[in-house]
Structures are given as C-alpha cells and as structure tokens.
Amino acid sequence: MTATTLSDVEFGVRSIANTVTTNEKYFGELDSVVGDGDFGFSLARGFEAVLEGWDDYSRDDIGSFLQGVALTISRRIGGTSGPIWGTAFLRAAVVAKGLTELGVDETVAMLRAAIEGIKARGKAEVGDKTLLDALVPMTDAVEAATSGPLLSLAATTARSAAEAASALQARRGRASYSGERSIGVPDAGAIAVAVIVERLTEDWRQHSEAASTAEGGSER
C-alpha cells in the first residue's frame, strides 16, 4: 500500500460526504423502523455543511484538515449523530496531527482512536447494535491484513458485519426502546458504515484508473 497523502484524505472525505447526501432517504428509512427516522437527514445536512466550507479548512497537515471537518460535523449534525461522528473525526485528527502522509499503521491508529471516541461519547460497546458493530470488525480486518487491496477488504468486512448486526438487540439509542422488536432489523449506523466504505472503494478505483490513464497519456 502506497502512502496516503493529504490529497487522498480530501478525496476520501468528499466521497463520504457525497455518499451520505446521496443516501439521505435510504439511511432515514432504515432508521425509521425502530428509531426516530432522522439519521439520514441529520447526517446529510452535516456533510453538506462540510462541502460548503470545503475551501476554508486548513491544509497544513492531515490532522488540521480533519479537525476542521470534525468541528463542522459537531456543529451541524443534529441529534446524537453530531457528537458521535464529530468525536470520531476529531479523535482521528489528533492522531494525524502534523502528518502529511499516512501508512497502514497510522490509518489503523486513526480508526482505533475514532472507535474509542465513539465508545466514550455514545457509552456503547461492540454488540450494542451501533455503527461500532461494522467499524470495529472492519478495523480489525485491516490491521490483521498483510497484503492485498485493503479498501476492498474493509468494504467486504463492513458489509458482512453490518448485516450480522441485524440479529442483535439494540441497547443504545432510540432503537433500544423497542427491545426485542429491534432483533432482525438492520442498524442504520452500521449499514451506513458499509455503504460509505463500499462507495469509497469504488470511487478510489475509478480515481486510480483515471490517474493511470492520464499518466500514460502524458508519457506518449
């Protein structure tokens, strides 16, 4: 795996923002089954604000860029999602402070920091039927991998873990009020993680192919 640059991180955040806004209705429908149904709307409004403020974020290093994104998310996403997603980005930003490139170790460290932030902010653990039930197995798989396309591995793992989480009973958030009725219902947060990483994988593939084509053309 080649080093991830600030430009790559910007590409990834933009992909996340586009995926969230495109899937606003879908995420809301998932959340409405046993939740309050505002997950898709809240997330979309927050990431729209991220895109609106895009040119204002610091590009001094990866951490400072992500810190700007985190602050926007925290301010603009409503409900419980804002603090949780904002904390995740902020904790990742702390790890990336001063860095202009990321290797696998740094990327995993950022994901671990985001996970710990989500646990602390949401008072949740793996098995409580939240986004952690997709994010943690995905991070474990990436950390354990020794070779191969890590984004594809992350997407496959996140999807299978998110679908498996449907069998759990929700123990956090509005869905927890449904008790056993939440068993068999997909968790909107876990599915969102899977959709986001799947879309990022495809976006990155297309981006890499376009860059290779452009590079090849410039050599002729």
- Note the pLDDT tens digit of each residue in 27-68: 999 999 988 889 999 999 999 999 999 999 999 999 999 999
Cα atoms in the 13 Å half-sphere on the side-chain side of 86: 19
CA 68 from chain centre, in angstroms, equals 16
pLDDT tens column, 198-217: 999 999 999 888 877 776 76
Q: Is the pLDDT of residue 103 over 80?
A: yes
Q: Is the pLDDT of residue 172 over 90?
A: no
Q: Which CATH number fits domain 4-205: 1.10.1740.10, 3.90.1150.10, 1.25.40.340, 3.40.640.10?
A: 1.25.40.340
pLDDT band at 1 (very low <50, low <70, confident <90, very high): low
pTM of this structure:
0.93
Mean predicted confidence (pLDDT) in 111-131: 96
Q: Which tokens in the block code for residue 136?
A: 């943690």
Q: Is the pLDDT of residue 218 over 60?
A: no
Share of the chain above pLDDT 90, in %: 80
Query: Given this model, what pLDDT does residue 179 score?
Result: 82
Q: What are phi and psi of 102, to 5 degrees?
A: -125, 135
Q: Is the pLDDT of residue 10 over 70?
A: yes
Q: Which tokens in the block code for residue 94?
A: 């702390």
DSSP per residue over 134-185, as a string? HHHHHHHHHHH--SS-HHHHHHHHHHHHHHHGGGSPP-SSGGGGGGGGGTTS
Q: Which long-range contacts (CB under 8 A, 24 or more apart) does 11-14 make?
A: 11/203, 11/204, 11/207, 12/200, 12/204, 13/50, 13/65, 13/66, 13/69, 14/51, 14/54
Give domain limits for the chain.
Answer: 4-205
The Cα–Cα gap between 96 and 65 comes to 9
